[in-house]
Amino acid sequence: MLHWLAAGIALAYVGLVAFGVRGRVRGIKPLPALLLAVANPPMAPVLVAWATGDAFLLDKDRFFLHGLGAFLVGHILFIGVVGASSGVSLPALGVGLAVAGGVLSALWGGLRPKLRAPVSLYAVALAGMLGVAVPAGDLPGVLFLLISDTILAWNRFRTPLPRGDLLVMCTYYGAVFLIGLPK
């Protein structure tokens, strides 16, 4: 039942983004991850960290690094939770590191010097997620997250894409549900 409520809230939030609605009503953004955390206790720490990141990113100009940090914690928790039971695919990790390096090189010129280290660490964590996702069967969810974060970073540090905010939220919620729904 909780997953249906989470899906309804996610669809409502995507609708708000699609129609350009701003303000307090957008505070519902973290709720799908929190509801899925209740429905899936093994993934709860990951989902709560991501929901915390969502809350910070409601004011991404003031709290971007806080949001990045919360998502980073969630990614590290994902690596620990999923990797403990599935192990790591070194080829997938290598592909993830290569993709992270390519994206970072494309973004590097747009990154302020103080953001280079945190964004690089974040990219390495995403590569680590890919490394544990392959043997665990969580590849689709992690790919959605990689796409979402790449679009978000491109929008922030390079050139905004048309409807980039909508693309970010659709792929992000896809990741949250693919990873967060109980298996």
Q: Please give the C-alpha separations between residue 178 and each of 47, 81, 157, 163, 171, in angstroms, as whole numbers.
A: 12, 16, 27, 23, 10
In angstroms, the CA 13 to CA 162 distance is 18
Mean pLDDT by 10 residues, the chain (183 residues): 94 93 84 97 98 93 95 98 96 97 96 96 97 97 97 94 94 98 91
Judge contact between 91 and 68, C-beta under 8 A: no
- Per the rule left: phi > 0, alpha: psi between -120 and 50, beta: everything else, 137 is left
Judge contact between 71 and 125, C-beta under 8 A: no
In the block, tokens 């974040």 appear at 122
Give the residue from 124, 137, 136 showing the smallest Cα distance to 93. Answer: 124
Q: pTM, whole model, 2 decimals?
A: 0.94
pLDDT at 183: 85
Token digits of residue 12: 């409502």
